[in-house]
């Protein structure tokens, strides 16, 4: 049992040069998984982080500290504001799943009527904005903001964030 495991490990680590004969003739094995061409063609890459800590602070109504990777905290380890960006295609591929999850997690889920396809979800300690637009897709999560403390307050704050996002 040890010998087959060692052979497999050697092939993986050594870069086994096997030929896959299961692919259909004419299949481009170097094509990206999202279906776009290698140059980006029909889908732009994920947008960069759209806000600075100062801009996030203005949107949520309290000072925020940049924690890196488009994540911002209140400096006390409590409140957190995060943005995850992805391509438009990636956003479309995960939308149904994310929407279904939001229905199970949040008290209130509302479809948005601006910027593209998406929703705003909220509960007493957390809110989420998911939007797919020409510029890409954005997932914004706010959690543990003491000054918000209610689904309506999270929804209003996320609507301000939606208005500020660079969606085109």
Higher-pLDDT residue of 99 and 6 is 99
- What's the confidence (pLDDT) of residue 77? 95
pLDDT tens figures, 41-99? 467 899 999 999 999 999 999 999 999 999 999 999 999 999 999 999 999 999 999 99
**What pLDDT is attached to residue 42?**
60
pTM across the whole model:
0.75
Once rounded to an integer, what is the mean pLDDT over residues 150-154?
Answer: 96
17-52 tens-digit pLDDT: 434 444 444 433 343 444 443 334 467 899 999 999
Of 91, 151, 161, the C-alpha closest to 129 is: 161
Per-residue burial over 38-65, b = 16 or more CB atoms within 10 Å of its CB, e = otherwise: eeeeebeebbebbbebeebbebbeeebe
67: which 2 tokens?
Answer: 């924690």
| Structural domains for the chain | 53-164 (3.30.160)
In this prediction, residues 123-140 reach a mean pLDDT of 96
d(CA 49, CA 149): 26
**What does pLDDT average to over the chain?**
82
Which pLDDT belongs to residue 4?
41
């Amino acid at each position: 049992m040890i010998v087959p495991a060692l052979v497999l490990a050697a092939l993986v680590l050594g870069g086994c040069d096997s030929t896959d004969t299961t692919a259909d003739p004419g299949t481009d094995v170097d094509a990206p998984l999202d279906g776009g061409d290698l140059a980006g063609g029909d889908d732009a890459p994920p947008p960069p982080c759209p806000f600075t800590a100062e801009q996030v602070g203005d949107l949520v109504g309290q000072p925020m500290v940049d924690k890196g990777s488009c994540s911002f905290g209140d400096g006390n380890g409590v409140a957190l504001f995060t943005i995850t960006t992805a391509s438009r295609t990636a956003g479309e591929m995960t939308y149904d799943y994310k929407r279904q999850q939001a229905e199970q997690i949040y008290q209130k889920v509302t479809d948005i009527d601006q910027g593209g396809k998406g929703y705003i979800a909220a509960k007493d300690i957390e809110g989420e904005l998911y939007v797919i637009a020409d510029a890409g897709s954005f997932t914004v999560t706010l959690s543990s903001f003491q000054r918000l403390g209610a689904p309506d307050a999270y929804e209003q704050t996320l609507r301000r964030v939606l208005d500020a996002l660079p969606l085109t």
